[in-house]
Structures are given as structure tokens and as C-alpha cells.
Structure 1
């Protein structure tokens, strides 16, 4: 798993994404899917700094957040005094009691590098869902993103928050590995008094998926897809999947 969101990077991530993402719209998107499936209890995997948690809590919903980064959780707890956040790994976690719905947000699936990572995650989700519970998650579409990354190896994002202008200079390099992997090098900086000030450098290996891959992973892990949404986001073409837990059939 990545260390991208540890330490000071958690606060930088939080500041930049305040302008990248409309969290009110993001909340409405996920909440509509939750309501469509009559779910009342929610676990968000990749809850980050608690921006969606704030909306769920504000509407008095039964919500739990789970994240791999203690630094992100610290910010989330400060922002949401009455929410429950768990430090954990989506590949292996156990809730005190199962929930109706589990979300994996923010394209956190990108950090499931191996097939074992993917299968372990879906297995943990299956075990922590109520009967007929649903999982909702997004993933970067390999068929569109890999050609884009090859043609645009340097991508600059900028965001202004609380009077500070942040920049992220991303370099993407495709790898010829067993899966559809990319090496992501990012430099974070601001301009102060017309001088470029480097905040941090980061390197991550991430994975993108084809829709067919995801469909097969879900089938093999006893989930039935009930909705596939082609969704544009601020930087990537993604799919959002809604899938229902099925009863396991003994082989």
C-alpha cells in the first residue's frame, strides 16, 4: 500500500482536493445509490480526511470510515467529532457487525496491485456485508487512461485553497508487468513571492483495470453487478460499479 497520504501529505491532499472535488455532489451521487438499494448502514473504505463523512454525519446516517493512513484519520476525526473511524487495510478487515453497504471511494482500488489484493478485498467486503448487502466502488478505466497517460506523460493540476495555490506535477509511466500498472511520480509545490517552493515528492505504483477484469473479479467473489456507471471525474475516466452480495454456492 502507498505512503502517499502519510504525514504532511495528508494535509496537502486535503487542501488540494477541496477544489478538485465537489463533495456535496459526491455525497449526493453515493447517497442516491445507497437509498436506491434501501441501505441504512454504511462503511466507507478510503474515507480519507472525512469530507464525505461530514455529509453523512450531517444527515444523521449510520456511517463508519476506514482508512489506511493514520494521518488522514487524524484530520477526519478533527473534522467529524462524532464519527467512527477505523485504521485498517481494505484487504483484511473485520467490523464489529456487518453493514448494508460498503463504499470504496476516491479510486482507492488503484492501490490493489496484485490479483490477491483484489480478491482479498472483495472477500473481506463479502464477510462484512449483511445478506443482500451492496458494494459500490470506482476504478480508473485502463482502456482510456493508459493511452491518455502515454500521450500526456506530464500532467499538471492546480488548486487554490485558503489563499494558497498548490500545484501537482504528475509523471506517468506505463509498465509491462502482468497487470495494467503505472508508475506515478508526483511533485507537489506552491509559488510564494514568485518562487517555486517544493513541498514534497512522491512515488507510487498504481493499477488500472478493464471493465471485463472487474466483472470477472466480482463474479468469482460471489457478487452480482446491478449497475455500471461511466462517470467522468476531475482527472480520470472511471467506472462506478454497484454489486450485490450473493449466497455462496458450495463447489
Structure 2
């Protein structure tokens, strides 16, 4: 998991920056359409973060729960969505009181599953917490496109403005010996004060990107059948979104 990004004051900085990076109305419509296609009424979002998608589900009176690893993120999400339930938990090992119709993993949170055991444990937990005809929807960064991209662009700049404050994130990527397509990601977060950059925090993470074939095999091993694969461009990375159903 990230060292600093999802703890303390960085949860608020993350929340501010992503208001610019992601159009949450579009993000909600995208996931909600997939959920509705399969007639799902109860939803668990893994990686619910600061509750931006939760806000849309709550506004539409849907049966929504969020799960996140960061208590700091959950605190912001709960303040934003007083009538929603947020669970502090680990996607690799969680148990709901009642299974749900749809489980979604959003925001490329699969990147933090850095070994095969992490993936298998997560998919097993998802399987156990889905109803009989449950649907599993998640995104992941495509290794075949992302690794060549970072070889050409080892420093990536993202700018964001929220509530009158200008933020900059400088990301630096370094390939490891490529065991499991792991990448070392370091980032510096700044805000602009009087035209100068003021450092907010340094962050470092080891993350994983995947090939589509890997994901297909992991799903097969955990008794899921892919029913839709969507090639989706997001704010910074080429991703795939998978819609899979639970096989009995």
C-alpha cells in the first residue's frame, strides 16, 4: 500500500486533486449502467476512498456500502455521506454481514495487489461476498501499454485546482526487475503559493500493472466468467474494465 497517500492530511489532498482528475458524475454513470444491466440492487464499492461515488449512489437512494483500507479516507467519506455505511477493511480478506449483488473495485485499486496471493485472496473474498448471480466489476492498468509509456516518460506531471488552490503532482516511475510487472512509483505533491511550488509531501509506493491474459486466468481460477471487457481511457492511464459473473 502507499506509504503516505491515504493517511492523515494526504487523504484531504488526494480528495482535492481527484476532484479535477475525475468527473465523478461520468464515473458514476459508467459503473451504474453496468450494475443496472445486470439488475443488481445492492452494491459494495472496494476502494471507496473519500466517498465521491458513494455520494452519487446515496443521492439516488441505492443500497450502497463502501470498503476502504484507509481510516482517514473513510472519515472524509462518512462526513460527506452521513447516511451511507463505510467499512474499514482489506479487500484481500473481508466478510459482509449479507452478500451483495455487485462488487466494484474502483480507481485502479487493483494496482496495490502486488503478488499473486493478493490477487487470489481478493478474488476469493469477492466471490464469497456475492449473491448467487453476483457481478464483479473492476479496472486495472494495462501493462502492455503502460510499461512502454513510462519508459518514454519517466517523469509525469499532473495539475489540479480545487477550491481556489492549485496543486501539482510530479510522478516518477521506475521498473523493478519486472517480477509480476511491479513498478516503483514516487511522487511529490505541491501547492502553488505566490507562483512558487510549496512541497506538501513525498509519497512512495510499489504498484503492479497487469496483462489482460493474467487477469483472465486469475478470474478463471476463482470461478468467475468474464461477460464484458471494456478498453477504457482514464485521466492518466490506459485501463481495462472487467465485468464478470460468479459461477457456481
CA contact (8 A) 2:2 2:203 kept: no
CA contact (8 A) 2:100 2:131 kept: yes
The CA RMSD over aligned residues, in Å, is 0.6
Distance in 1, Cα, partners of 2:18 & 2:124: 30
Mapping 1:94-105, distance limit 5 Å = 94-105=95-106
SS of residue paired to 1:90: coil
Distance in 1, Cα, partners of 2:113 & 2:161: 30
What is aligned with 2:109?
A: 108
SS of residue paired to 1:43: strand
Runs of 4+ displaced beyond 3 Å: none
1:152 aligns with 2:153: yes
Distance in 2, Cα, partners of 1:177 & 1:159: 31
Runs (5+) with no aligned partner, structure 2: none
What is aligned with 2:27?
A: 26
What is aligned with 2:94?
A: 93
What is aligned with 1:179?
A: 180
CA displacement at 1:202 relative to structure 2:
0.3
Size of the aligned set, in residue pairs, is 247
Distance in 2, Cα, partners of 1:200 & 1:113: 24
Distance in 1, Cα, partners of 2:178 & 2:143: 14
- The Cα offsets for residues 51-88 of structure 1, whole Å up to 9 and x where unpaired, read as 00000000000000000000000000000000000000
1:218 aligns with 2:219: yes
Distance in 2, Cα, partners of 1:117 & 1:5: 19
User: How high is the TM-score relative to the length of structure 1?
Assistant: 0.98
What is aligned with 2:235?
A: 234
Distance in 2, Cα, partners of 1:120 & 1:6: 24
What is aligned with 1:126?
A: 127
Runs (5+) with no aligned partner, structure 1: none
CA displacement at 1:191 relative to structure 2:
1.4
CA displacement at 1:195 relative to structure 2:
2.1
- The Cα offsets for residues 147-193 of structure 1, whole Å up to 9 and x where unpaired, read as 00111000000000000000000000011142001100000001101
User: How high is the TM-score relative to the length of structure 2?
Assistant: 0.99
- The Cα offsets for residues 79-138 of structure 1, whole Å up to 9 and x where unpaired, read as 000000000000000000000000000000000000000000000000000001010000
- The Cα offsets for residues 25-52 of structure 1, whole Å up to 9 and x where unpaired, read as 0000000000000100000000000000
Deviates more, 1:191-200 or 1:105-114: 191-200
